[in-house]
A and B are shown apart, each in its own frame.
Chain A
Amino acid sequence: MTFDSGMPLVVELALFALAVVVLLMGIAGRPYLWQGPRSGPVGVAGGGPAGKAIGWVALGGLVAIFGLTFLATEGGSVLRGSFVQDSLAIFAKRLFIASAALSVLGSLTLPHASFSRRAGEYHFALIASLLGMSVLASARELVLLFVAFELMSIPLFLLTGFLKREAVAPEAALKFFLVGTASSAVIVYGMSFVYGVTGSTTLDAIPAAMIGGHPLMRLGMALLLAGLGFKIAAFPFHMWAPDTYEAASTPFVAWLSVAPKAAGFIAIIRLFVEGVGSAALVWMPAIAVLAGMTIVMGNLMAIPQQNIKRLLAYSGIAHIGYMLVGLAALSSSGVAMMLFYLVAYMFGNMGAFLVVEVVARSEQSDGIDAYRGLAQRSPLLALVMLIFLLSLGGIPFVAGFWAKLYVFWAAIERGLYGLVFLGAVLTVVALYYYLLVARRMYIEAPVRRDPVPVPGLLRAAIIVCVLGVVGMGIYPGPWVAMAMRVAATLF
């Protein structure tokens, strides 16, 4: 087979190759793995520069693969239609890879020794999970969907517990794993009902079965929605999120808070929206109720948080609720605006987490109190954080405003007035806790006066996020057009 940069599997193959390269580099950097333990003292060999090199290879590879997605031709499919390269898949892959690259950029300078000593493992797990997402975005067959789902999830459990000697990391990883396994079981259970009704594992069979309205079909779909609800961390499936976020390394959390959730949404779109048409509307109340609960609970539980990572975890749950509002419209514009929201959320949320990493490195604390007087210490950093928070809060002329407005707009078109009202009211609550952080930064006096040092690579990642948030805020046109185009192919 000759190399064709437009062929459907090219992104996945490239990711796989990158994962293998990173893994081999990791093994090469630790000679005792193949020469036996006597060849050198454990824990020293392969640290430092070699670890950095692996990170740079991973980053360079991700950037190159991101470029590769622009060569991919839309509309191809392999494996008898189980794997498709449509515009939704390409959109999702770009989102996953871009967020992964930002995360790797942020994690290159992590101070903990494990990150350089075991850089091969870290980046291998990350790219493997990314590969899972990438396949998931293209999967149009239940078994492939599930395998991709597990390929995405299992490395995430590993990465959460990466710092295995720290007290909290293994606990969080275990919780994440247990709840995740339960959810996977629910998904498989749901899939078995769907298969039982349709007699086929391809997603093409779902629309007809949904229109048929077989009770077992509905049962199966409800199970699928619940299982995917765990992945996107919708209430009440959200409980893993705050503990996991708090324990895991922040640049990884920045990615964890965006990419797997996006993957979950892509799966929901594939199962519930694509090709289903108006038959999907029976699910509108269920999704709307899920959205409403998630918005209320996420926002309310964020209020008392004193740890910024937990605060962002709950606020992220609330954002999932807003995206569900767009999805609940089950219309072309609703899905488009949800995708737009995803991109806005990616820039805003990842940016906020990266600032959290910067502050945590300087202050050794994730508490909100660490932000006291940040505006006096590092005015630019405080301003950037404020921009991210305002975008998350939905203030005009940063990305989040348009995202919320458009999602509400789509929901209004479907007559979901109550949901939009609820969402709008709770935006005020969200602003309250976001501005609590802003108050710490701008109004309270600093404990220390020295500026917070910003490592160069993190600075680069944060700048990308700021440009994204402000660019989408001032000139949302092209992003909306892109989301509309992707969504139009689903109906």
Chain B
Amino acid sequence: MTGDGTFALAALLLHALAFLVLAVVAPLRRLGRPAAWFSILCAAGSLVSALLAWQRHAGDAMSRLVWEWLPAQGQTLATVGVLADAESTIMLTLVALVACLVQVYSLGYLSDEPAPSLGRYYAYQSLFAFSMMGLVLAPNFVQLFICWELVGLCSYLLIGFWYYKPEAARAAVKAFWITKAGDVGLLIGIVLLWRQSGTFDLTEMRVLVDNGALPLAGLSLITFCIYLGAVGKSAQFPLHVWLPDAMEGPTPVSALIHAATMVTAGVYLLLRTEWLFALTPDVLLIVAWVGAFTALLAASLACAQDDIKRVLAYSTVSQLGYMMTAIGAGFAAAGFFHLLTHGLFKALLFLGAGAVIHAVHGNDLPQMGGLARRMPQTTVVFLVGTLSLAGIPLFGGFLSKEEILGAVWAGGLTGPFVLLMMVAFLTAFYMFRVVFLAFFGTPPARDTHPHDPPMTMALPLWILAALSLGVGIYFAVAGPALPFGPAEHEFTSPDWLMPAAVGAAVGGILLAWLTYQRRAIDAATLASALGPIRHAALRRFWMDDLFEGVYGLGLLGFSRLIGWIDRYLVDGVLNVVSAWTVTSGDDLRTMQTGRAQDYVYGVALGLMILLLWVRWALA
């Protein structure tokens, strides 16, 4: 059965339209708010289109709208277009939804921003949504890679949106370079894969794989290279270090790009090429172990952060690790399910955190406290998000987390499973630490009169909260049947799994409650009990130091060496060559005497050359 890709295409192009109009029509962009409304209007239209596209492709329907793009010697090297199926359209809907809500939310959040800079913000937002949708719908690796780089660019632009803040500028550059390191791997993987299969097209490649026509030799290297791209984008160990720093951008950006959509692109890439990775179980094993390790590392880091956005950032890294582990276990659909629910509740948490930051004018948890009374709405929605993330039954994240744990168990990966169970405990702990520290307890002495956010910010919060809860209740009623994808990955979870997971979460909540609410356990005692670990976590397990060391000593030293060679050897040679080129140009100029007879001599010279050639070569 074939569906109709037009709606998916429309969803994509509406954001392109918004970006082009804002980019080209500078007067509109400089107006600020009208530009924002135009962009929001396009985003809303895009959301409707995406929903329609999803509805058309809910079953097994698949449609391809593809145009030939780069011709090469009678064949087509690359195409552009949309590949709409159940997976891509549901992802499209998530992107469209969060993008639309975040754009509305930003209107309130950035109300103090000067008009031209607000217009710039919305232009970037539109470009990001377009690129992300292009990535999601990409029918081939070329379009996927181009959009992949474009979302990276948008991420850079939006992290550094307040470019006059040195930390923001530094974080933007850091994010760009570290994800770029992974992108190099992805590019190499794509080109190698093209050499092996002769096509960039996902559908054609899938046919090759299904027919067993793809040579397996060297495929592990290829999938590993592709995985490297996902490591960078989805902040897997050891390239996770950029994501917490990316929180220097405006909070709505963190919600959209660094929680709900862009960082999940790596997971999505692996999902899209799941059939390829299935051929290389050794790489999948790496994916699973790295994913589980990342989840644990990031979760433990999250416990030691005092910046509310950084807690959420580490939690995102941790949850991405969760998804990766499920893919590594061979059950990509479970990872994708968690990606979707996580997109909803993590966006909710970030936007809620944004409301708090907006109200108290600061990110520091110790500066907050007792906000529940001042900001009841925000407290409720934040709690919904937290319970979802902790995996409490009836909330959004519960079933998807269960699915992942079940999948990893069913995949026979006991080690990663144990790590993930620990993460489940830690997740509940650090999230409720935030809740108790920020919303309950005693307010700080400095009173700033925080209050609930304005309508433009509250509405997206309530929509996301309702969706997080709605999804949880829907699946509790309808059972854990995944609403997309082939049903071939059925597995049965052991009976003890659900009580164990819920128990871990409740344990985490309890510990947080005892520590930060009842103060039955002194936080300092707990900290000293975990002394070395806590110390290590505060130093971010020295990962950033390591990178800085590698960068400072290794890379910069290497660069200096190369720089010296470049300056004195390569440049020397080049300078000589280029000077010689320039002088030869100067000398040759004298050939142009300006006398007509010399020009005729030129004709005669050329004729002589040709005639001599005829005489000697053709004789």
Q: Could you tell me which A residues sit within 8 Å of B by CB distance?
A: 174-175, 178-179, 182-183, 186, 213, 215, 218-219, 222-223, 225-226, 229-230, 234-240, 242-243, 282, 285-286, 289, 297, 300-305, 333, 409, 413, 429, 432, 475-477, 480-481, 484
Contact = CB atoms under 8 A, between A and B. Distances in A.
Interface of B: 67-74, 76, 578, 581-582, 584-586, 588-589, 591-592, 594, 596, 598-600, 602-603, 605-607, 609-611, 613-614, 617-619
Contacts of B582: 303-304
A175 B603 CA distance: 13
A477 B68 contact: yes
Given A225-B610, A235-B606, A429-B581, A333 B73 contact: yes
| Best-buried of B73, B594, B606 by chain A (most CB within 10 Å) | B606
Contacts of B584: 300
B598 A239 contact: yes
A229 B606 contact: yes
A304 B74 CA distance: 40
A219 B585 contact: no
Contacts of B591: 239, 301
Given A300-B588, A481-B71, A285 B599 contact: no
Given A174-B596, A286-B610, A477-B68, A304 B603 contact: no
Contact of A300 (B76, B585, B602, B618): B585
B69 A477 contact: yes
6 contacts: A229-B606, A236-B609, A237-B602, A237-B603, A301-B588, A477-B70
Contact of A182 (B588, B600, B610): B600
B602 A304 contact: no
A174 B69 CA distance: 48
Given A222-B610, A289-B613, A236 B68 contact: no
A78 to B, nearest CB: 33
Contact of A304 (B70, B73, B586): B586
A154 to B, nearest CB: 17
B599 A179 contact: yes
Given A182-B600, A229-B606, A282 B585 contact: no
A226 B74 contact: no
A475 B585 CA distance: 36
Name the 7 nearest CB pairs between A and B, nearest first.
A303-B585, A239-B599, A300-B585, A480-B71, A175-B596, A236-B602, A222-B610
Nearest to B76: A477
Contact of B613 (A235, A285, A304): A285
Given A282-B618, A409-B72, A476-B71, A239 B610 contact: no
A78 B71 CA distance: 36
B600 A178 contact: yes
Contacts of B67: 477
Nearest to A301: B588
B592 A301 contact: yes
A179 B606 contact: no
Given A182-B603, A304-B582, A333-B73, A222 B596 contact: no
Contact of A236 (B76, B596, B606, B614): B606
Contacts of B585: 300-304
A178 B610 contact: no
Contacts of A475: 69
Nearest to B586: A304
Given A237-B606, A301-B585, A301-B592, A175 B599 contact: yes
A155 B614 CA distance: 33
A453 B73 CA distance: 43
Contacts of A213: 618
A469 B578 CA distance: 30
Contacts of B617: 285-286
A239 B68 CA distance: 42
Contacts of B71: 476-477, 480-481
Contacts of A238: 602
Contacts of A175: 596, 599
Contacts of B619: 215
B614 to A, nearest CB: 5
| Best-buried of A230, A239, A484 by chain B (most CB within 10 Å) | A239
A377 B585 CA distance: 31
Nearest to B619: A215
B371 to A, nearest CB: 48
B596 A300 contact: no
A449 B354 CA distance: 45
A179 B74 contact: no
B72 to A, nearest CB: 7
A124 B578 CA distance: 47
Given A226-B603, A237-B606, 10 more contacts: A186-B603, A215-B619, A218-B614, A222-B610, A236-B609, A239-B591, A303-B585, A304-B582, A413-B73, A476-B71
Contacts of A429: 581
B600 A179 contact: yes
Contacts of A219: 611, 614
B298 to A, nearest CB: 38
Nearest to B618: A218
A394 B340 CA distance: 43
Contacts of A239: 591-592, 598-599, 602
A419 B580 CA distance: 21
B6 to A, nearest CB: 20
Contacts of B602: 179, 236-239
A239 B600 CA distance: 9
| Best-buried of A182, A240, A409 by chain B (most CB within 10 Å) | A182
A179 B596 contact: yes
Contacts of B600: 178-179, 182
| Best-buried of A174, A300, A409 by chain B (most CB within 10 Å) | A300
A302 B607 CA distance: 24
A215 B619 CA distance: 8
Contacts of A218: 614, 618
Contacts of B72: 409
A297 B590 CA distance: 12
A302 B73 CA distance: 32
B603 A484 contact: no
A237 B602 CA distance: 6
A367 B460 CA distance: 58
B143 to A, nearest CB: 13
B575 to A, nearest CB: 13
A41 B528 CA distance: 107
A183 B74 contact: no
Contacts of B586: 303-304
Contacts of B607: 186, 222-223, 226
Nearest to B589: A304
B613 A484 contact: no
